[in-house]
Amino acid sequence: MIAICPGSFDPLTYGHLDIIGRAALLFDRVIVGVGRNRAKNALFEPAERREMIIEALAAELPDAPVEVRLIDGLLVDYCAEHGIDVAVKGVRLAADFDYELQMAQMNRRMSGLETILLPTSAEYGYISSTLVRDVARFGGEIDEFVPPLIAARVAAAGGA
């Protein structure tokens, strides 16, 4: 069975890696689907994020059956076109759950795509890409929230 972990990953955090790694234990293959969230001001372009995720996965989850792809448009269309069976999303707080449940129900209604919501491990429950960008923007250390190569790229980009 093939699963997709979709997201903007701007930047990838240890929380994302936690969900990706756990999904890789549950499914034969996991696609990390890097999308463009037009509602957010991105720090990195999707192709840059894909490249960074590939490098981070090689360092952090080298044996995981994971590949990284760019996606555009509706998730349900991408999954139908590529034979992807299920979406896996991480949830940190009640607000995440409410949003992801609504998306899961819409996706299921539109195409039958199932969604599994995985609670983020407790040590990563407070981390978000937005907070990481904000901390970096004001000169704070982000090393405990993101892999080293991501921290270096965020610092080089000025955090915002």
Report whether pLDDT(85) > 70.
yes
Place of tokens 């707080």: 93
- Tell me the three-class secondary structure of 1-43, residue by residue: CEEEEEECCCCCCHHHHHHHHHHHHHCCEEEEEECCCCCCCCC
Catalytic annotation, residues: 16, 40, 92, 129
Tokens of 58: 């090689």
pLDDT bracket for residue 160 (50, 70, 90) = low
Is 125 labelled a binding residue? yes
Single pTM value for the model: 0.94
Place of tokens 């080089």: 156
pLDDT bracket for residue 78 (50, 70, 90) = very high
- The per-residue pLDDT of the chain, averaged, comes to 95
Local structure of residue 73 (DSSP, 8 states): S
Is 19 labelled a binding residue? no
Is 7 labelled a binding residue? no
The topology (CATH level 3) of 2-126 is Rossmann fold (3.40.50)
Output phi, psi for 132, to 5 deg: -60, -45
CB 20 within 8 A of CB 5: yes
Please say whether the dihedral angle defined by the alpha carbons of residues 129, 44, 23 and 56, taken in this order, is positive or negative.
negative
